[in-house]
Structure 1
Amino acid sequence: MDKKEFYRKLLSLVLPIAFQQLMLTIVSASDALMVGAIGQALLSAVSLASQITFVYNLFLAAMTIGTSIFVAQYWGKGDQKSVEKILAIVLRVSITVSCVFFLAATFFPSLLMSVFTSDNTLIEYGNKYLRVVGVTYLLCGISQIYLCIMKNTNFASKSMIIGSTAAFLNIPLNAIFIYGLFGVPRMEIAGAAVATTISRIIELIWVLVEHSKLNRVKININYIINPDQTLRKDFWRYTLPVLGNELVWGGGFTMYSVIMGHLGTDAVAANSIANIVKNLIASLALGIGNGGSILVGNELGAGKLENAKMYGKRLCQISIISGICSGILLLIISPVVLLIADLSFQATQYLKWMLIMCSYYMVGKYVNGTTISGIFCAGGDSKFGFLCDAITLWGVTVPLGLIAAFVLKWPVLAVYFVINLDEIVKLPAVFKHYKKYIWVRDLTRSE
């Protein structure tokens, strides 16, 4: 495949995935900003309560990455039957995990909130949000896995339309239920959760309608009840390190929120806005990583190993350029963010410098996202990410962050600087591992 064709195929995957991620981030931002307009305490509560959803999404992310590893390769090989067997294996797990999170958020919200803050007001607000939003975990356990299947089987644009439309509907629904428009009772923080739940219901219904069409990968009940044991072993062999990676990374990221959550509401509010902006700018990174993983996986499954190696090189070059440009863009829009954010004077000062620190973070985010979650996983090289994050986060940034915040009592911005070093610290090890080409492997089996 020549460069022109490579970029055409890459864009056909990257743009839908990146746009869908952008819409999801915008919805998250609308939750925080609309509720935050009522009061800074509500903004902080939504931010902390959303950490439960963040942890749940770590499990979903591991399942979708594991799904993509095999679906991309088997689809590249032309084996739809194995794709349906993989789907069944993943659904068994995702539905089980979703039930656990639903029960925890619905019946034990105070316990969950107390992990992130000792402020009783924030805990009370967070309870109202979690009790309603818990049901969305049951819905996402099915819809997100099937949308992942669509991305890997030539329906990335359709997956984007479904996910983005549901996300877009969430924004006006937020306004209606948070502020009580058109005769609807004013629900404030609970309204944000209701809006999210309705949009997820619509998303799942649409997914099931799409699934019923001809020439779509089907959810086979028989495969769910009696999973293919060989594929099941293959799946867990390469997905368990991904799950470990997500939990190690997500646990570290959650610890960052715990650290910031105990430094005052100004620090929490500023960190909330900084994370929203950072995630908006990083949407393209997820698109490049996921889209690149599908492209590389297709080539590996088809046995075109040299093509896959060439694709990996091009993707790395794209990630470096995109990371630099994204950091510059973040600096350019920072004054607008400060103008729009309705924060106290102290929180605004925190946010100003946090955004500057986020700009250099972007380069590491793009490169690591493309390699660790994209190129490496496409060939089943999932253990490296687990080890890399375990050492970087739990051996360096989390301990240093805890010491800086609670032992040395450093200022908020100094602590924030420390906990944003992880993506940069990884870069030398990631580059060295990439050059070993362990990820250039065909994982498929013959019938």
Structure 2
Amino acid sequence: YILIFGKLGLPALGIIGAAVATIIARIIEMLVVIIWSIRHSNTHTYFKGMYRTIKVPLNLVWKYFITGIPLLLNEGLWSIGIVMLNQAYSMRGLNVVAGQSIANTINNIFNIVFIAMGDAVAIIIGQHLGSGDMKKARDEDTKIIAFSIFTSIIIGSIMFCTSGFFPKLYKTNELARLVATHFIMVQAIVMPKDAFLHTTYFTIRAGGKTIITFLFDSFFMLAVSVPIAHILIRCTTLGPVTVFALVHCADLIKCVVGYILNKKGVWLNNIVQ
């Protein structure tokens, strides 16, 4: 705010100010983590000697590489998939671009609950898997997924009921606000589905099944979601919000697959041994 609009005697830098502020925030985040880990190294002994050297044993590097490369590819391809989806929707006009931008911003605020549940899976379930307590890992995972879906139903309901309010906060035309409202309504309806997929994804990843998560996430995005969006946009007269909803409906396939994988316990694996 200060750098963008030039408050407290500083010049108004606009978008450059936003970029500078982002860099400053990231540096502060890094310093907080470094300082906290050093000050608490006696309590959390795994921090001791962490900054003494950057040397990592070659066998450990290879293990990280084999396990992590599918995740790296997944994140990169997922980003490409999101760009391709947005490009498809943008073919319906600039009002759609503006509306979707507004909707995504609001959605990011509301979906923080199930995003946090995914982090909880990574931490809690990963700890149980690392200790070899598979029974407790399965029990805790089931509870976290159920809680994530339940809270998403509540949050999604609130989001749906207030969907018309948030676009009014933006300086844009009425059509863009209407499109944004409809996008937000769809995102609110599918939030429980997204919550299940998100926590299931992190469950599978916690067990080190990175190839499965790659197929489950970015591969599905590029092989199913993106083609559906482009075909419907290019070959039909369906509106962008309808296409958006149908693309989300395709995720029900992932829900079924995710449920089966979770139920079979393919993720019950101790990757630290």
Which of 174, 177, 182 is equivalent to 2:3?
A: 177
Residue of structure 2 aligned with 1:260, choices 86, 89, 97:
89
SS at match of 1:420: helix
Deviation at 1:266, TM superposition (A): 1.4
State how far apart, in whole Å, the 1-side matches of 2:104 and 2:200 are: 22
Structure having the larger proportion of residues in helix: 1
Which residue type is aligned with residue 377 of structure 1? R
Partner of 1:337: 166
> Equivalent residue for 2:98?
269
Provide the residue aligned with 1:353 in structure 2: 182
**Of 364, 368, 382, which aligns to 2:210?**
382
Which digits, 9 at most, give the CA deviation of each residue in 1:270-293, with x for residues without a partner?
101111111111111121111122
Q: What is the aligned partner in structure 2 of residue 308 from structure 1? A: 137
TM-score by length of structure 1 reads 0.56
Q: CA deviation at 1:346?
A: 1.0
SS in 2 for 1:435: helix
Look up the SS of the partner of 1:334 in the other structure.
coil
The correspondence of residues 209-224 of structure 1 with structure 2, limited to 5 A, is 209-213=35-39, 214-215=41-42, 217=47, 218-220=49-51, 222=53, 224=54
1:432 alignment counterpart:
260
Q: Post-superposition shift, 1:391?
A: 4.7
Instruction: Please tell me whether the aligned partners of residues 392 and 422 of structure 1 are also in contact (alpha carbons under 8 angstroms).
Output: no
> Secondary structure of the residue that 2:264 maps to in structure 1?
coil
Shift of 1:262: 4.0
Matches of 1:367 and 1:203, distance apart in 2? 30
2:209 is paired with a residue whose SS is coil
In the TM superposition, what is the alpha-carbon distance from 1:181 to its structure 2 partner? 1.9
Q: Which moved more, 1:252-261 or 1:210-219?
A: 210-219
Shift of 1:433: 0.9
Aligned length: 268
Q: Structure 1 pair 265/189, CA: closer, same or farther in 2 (3 Å)?
A: farther
AA of the residue aligned to 1:281: F
Alignment of 1:187-266 (within 5 A): 187-213=13-39, 214-215=41-42, 217=47, 218-220=49-51, 222=53, 224-225=54-55, 227-266=56-95
CA RMSD across the alignment: 2.1
Contact 1:330–1:355 (CA<8 Å) still a contact in 2? yes
Structure 1 counterpart of 2:158, one-letter code: L
Alignment partner, residue 240 of structure 2:
412
How far apart in 2 are the matches of 1:206 and 1:295? 23
Map of 1:72-151 to 2, 5 A cutoff? none
Deviations 1:208-227 (A, max 9, x none): 322432335143453x33x2
Is this contact kept in 2: 1:397–1:418, CA < 8 A? no
Report how far residue 322 of structure 1 moved. Answer: 2.1
Question: Could you list the runs of 5+ residues in structure 1 that have no partner in the other structure?
Answer: 1-174
